[in-house]
Amino acid sequence: MLTKKLIALLLTPILLINMPALAVENVERDTPKIESRQMDKRAEVLQGYLAKYNSPMQYQAQDFIDAADASGMDWKLLPAIAGVESTFGKFIPGGYNAWGWGVYGNQAIYFKSWREGMFTVSAGLRKNYINRGLTDPASINRMYSTSSKWSTNVTFFLNDMEKFEAQYERKRGQAASMHLIAQAAGQSAQLAMSR
């Protein structure tokens, strides 16, 4: 009995020293890996556009693009609908539903995340609208909304995003040109100093 207590007493410091390492190993094993990738150019544009409206979805811009690509649809359609239905996610019935999807009176469909909502709604738009030939806001309006102005408002946001994208590209091109000019000026200054 004394031997067991002595062994336990001697092993306790060793076990305590190794416990943080064992805990880290378990956390690393049980933690899902997060994939890091560069943001799509369209997502950069959309993030800037949504930021302009102070949208809570601005950091999910890549998810919008991924959902649109998965459903084979224009990447601007889902955000445009969110603009009309909830001012880009600012006024929702709850549950991350920025698209008015399944909202009838007091009934509403709730999602667990913006991403889940984006993928669910884009797949639903593909299946229930686009695959049936309802491809533009006016034809989608007939089934999607009771408001006769819905398609006009969706079209406004589609066009506004296109303008924003053109301005974004222009500013990006100007910034790249300025960078090249500054770089060339720096190289010229280095050459002059070396002479």
Average pLDDT of span 62-70: 98
Distance CA 179, CA 172 (A): 11
pLDDT computed for residue 24 by the predictor = 46
Name all domains of the chain by residue range, CATH numbers in brackets: 41-172 (1.10.530)
Which has more pLDDT, 147 or 9? 147
Sign for the CA dihedral angle at 42, 150, 97, 101 comes to: negative
Alpha helices, DSSP H, located in 31-113: 41-52, 61-71, 77-86
Distance CA 100, CA 116 (A): 14
Per residue in 156-190, pLDDT (tens digit) is: 999 999 999 999 998 877 766 665 666 666 665 56
pLDDT computed for residue 38 by the predictor = 83
pLDDT computed for residue 34 by the predictor = 62
Q: Helices 150-194 and 41-52: crossing angle, nearest 10°?
A: 110
pLDDT confidence band for 5 (50 / 70 / 90): low
Distance CA 26, CA 107 (A): 43
Per residue in 15-55, pLDDT (tens digit) is: 445 545 444 455 455 556 666 678 899 999 999 999 999 99
Please name which of 161, 149, 145 lies closest in space to residue 77, comparing C-alpha atoms.
Answer: 161
Per residue in 106-161, pLDDT (tens digit) is: 889 999 999 999 999 999 999 999 999 999 999 999 999 999 999 999 999 999 99
State the number of CA atoms in the 13 A half-sphere of 183 facing the CB: 6
Buried b (16+ CB within 10 A) or exposed e, 46-64: bbbbbeebebbbbebbbbb
pLDDT beyond 50 at 80: yes
Q: What's at 150, amino acid-wise?
A: W
pLDDT computed for residue 176 by the predictor = 64
Alpha helices, DSSP H, located in 57-149: 61-71, 77-86, 114-128, 137-144
- Residue 104, classed as helix, strand or coil, is strand
